[in-house]
């Protein structure tokens, strides 16, 4: 081997590149490997570590993508770039291309929140406003799509830059999801786990469209105005609290507030009025308790059972051959007085064997005028 061959071999070894990215930060998502005029030597070594993906860009067009591993950059390992460059029989060093390293690890504990209140319509409380915030986790699932659609020519793309876009997307989709859920307002705070999973499924498609996978989505809190929260708490307790006791409790609170009011005579008058109402309620309550006690003692001596309520007789009647009714005694009397029926009209009630003319039913004979008083004596 001549001296020039040795020099050539030595220089060729010196010019073989090692392309790798050692990330010492925890917020970089994409980093462009810097080369002088983007020139890469034939046979250069590409090292892609776990949690990384290498993307080759040729003149703004996506070329080859490399997953973790070590590669010698030749025509065989760069099929797309070879096609774009027109390398039919291999290529001579050097060649130009941009190399981006993409961090594919999971980015966790990213914050999101609604900048403005979300207005919802509730059947009981009308239009209400809520706010929500929480955390989410994401990772790059399609490095090529992510570089083309999001990173562009940014040489060092961080999660802060993408988070502004993602948080706006999350707030919009969260608003749409809770609006379509149409849940009672108190259930938003009680069903954060189910609502979180639903939101993640709704947002996932849009995340994937730019090469990102939404791995986790959590709603940590759903807040609402304090006055609305108090109304909801009272509403939820109505079915479980004695309404009479609740009324007395509120009356007592009103008296206490009126007593502490410095509004003068009007406040005092209101307090006195509320006091009279409270006194009447307490008297009624005590009377009921005493009455109950006395009744209990009487029942121990001799239980008193009231007779059954009388059953009102119902009559059916016939008009033009059609059955009508049932009606009460007084209603039937009114029909007779209005000439809807007459003494020959057939009537029937429970216990009668057949339809009978009104004049032949004993208790209805009074309709015929037998009990008409005599005329007044002359003055």
Secondary structure tally for the chain: helices H, strands E: 10, 18
pLDDT in the model for residue 242? 56
Residues of the chain with pLDDT under 70: 1-16, 36-38, 88-89, 232-247, 249-250, 260-303, 309, 370-376, 379
pLDDT in the model for residue 116? 85
Distance between CA atoms of residues 153 and 296, nearest Å: 91
User: Hey, what's the torsion of the CAs at 329, 333, 339, 343, to 10 degrees?
Assistant: 80
CA atoms within 13 A on the CB side of 363: 12
- What are the tokens at 191? 């069903």
CA 271 to chain centre: 43
Span 111-224 CATH architecture: 2-Layer Sandwich (3.30)
User: Hey, what's the torsion of the CAs at 150, 153, 159, 160, to 10 degrees?
Assistant: -100
Longest CA span, the chain: 167
Distance between CA atoms of residues 312 and 341, nearest Å: 21
- What are the tokens at 41? 């030597």
pLDDT in the model for residue 265? 46
- What are the tokens at 363? 């208790």
Q: What predicted TM-score, i.e. pTM, was given to this entire model?
A: 0.54
- What are the tokens at 293? 């006690």
- Which of these, 39, 181, 30, 51, lies nearest to 106 by C-alpha position? 51
Helix (H) or strand (E) holding 63: strand 61-66
Fold of 315-368: Dna Ligase; domain 1 (3.30.1490)
pLDDT in the model for residue 140? 94
């Amino acid at each position: 081997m001549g001296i020039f061959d040795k020099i050539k071999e030595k220089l060729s070894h010196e010019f073989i590149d090692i392309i790798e990215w050692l990330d010492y930060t925890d917020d970089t998502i994409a980093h462009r490997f810097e080369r002088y005029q983007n020139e890469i030597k034939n046979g250069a070594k590409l090292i892609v570590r776990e949690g990384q993906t290498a993307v080759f860009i040729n003149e703004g067009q996506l070329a080859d993508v490399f997953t973790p591993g070590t590669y010698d950059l030749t025509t065989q390992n760069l099929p797309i770039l070879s096609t774009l460059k027109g390398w039919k029989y291999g290529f001579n060093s050097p060649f130009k291309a941009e190399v981006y390293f993409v961090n594919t690890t999971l980015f966790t504990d990213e914050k999101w929140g609604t900048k403005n209140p979300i207005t919802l319509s509730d059947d009981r409380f009308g239009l209400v406003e809520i706010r929500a915030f929480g955390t989410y986790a994401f990772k790059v699932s399609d490095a090529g799509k992510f570089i083309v659609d999001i990173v562009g020519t940014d040489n060092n793309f961080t999660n802060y830059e993408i988070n502004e876009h993602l948080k706006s997307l999350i707030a919009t989709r969260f608003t749409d999801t809770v609006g379509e859920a149409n849940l009672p307002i108190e259930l938003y705070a009680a069903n954060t786990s189910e609502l979180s999973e639903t939101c993640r499924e709704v947002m996932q498609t849009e995340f994937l469209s730019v090469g990102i996978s939404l791995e986790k989505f959590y709603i940590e809190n759903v807040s609402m105005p304090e006055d609305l929260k108090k109304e909801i708490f009272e509403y939820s307790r109505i079915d479980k609290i004695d309404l009479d006791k609740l009324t007395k409790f509120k009356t007592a609170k009103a008296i206490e507030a009126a007593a502490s009011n410095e509004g003068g005579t009007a406040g005092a008058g209101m307090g006195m009025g509320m006091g009279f109402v409270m006194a009447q309620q307490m008297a009624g309550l005590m009377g009921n308790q005493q009455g109950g006690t006395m009744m209990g003692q009487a029942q121990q001596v001799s239980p008193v059972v009231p007779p059954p309520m009388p059953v009102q007789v119902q009559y059916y009647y016939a008009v033009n051959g059609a059955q009508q009714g049932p009606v009460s005694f007084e209603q039937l009397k009114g029909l007779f007085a209005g000439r809807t029926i007459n003494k020959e009209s057939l009537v029937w009630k429970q216990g009668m064997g057949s339809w009978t003319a009104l004049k032949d039913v004993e208790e209805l004979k009074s309709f015929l005028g037998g009990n008409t008083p005599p005329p007044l004596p002359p003055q």
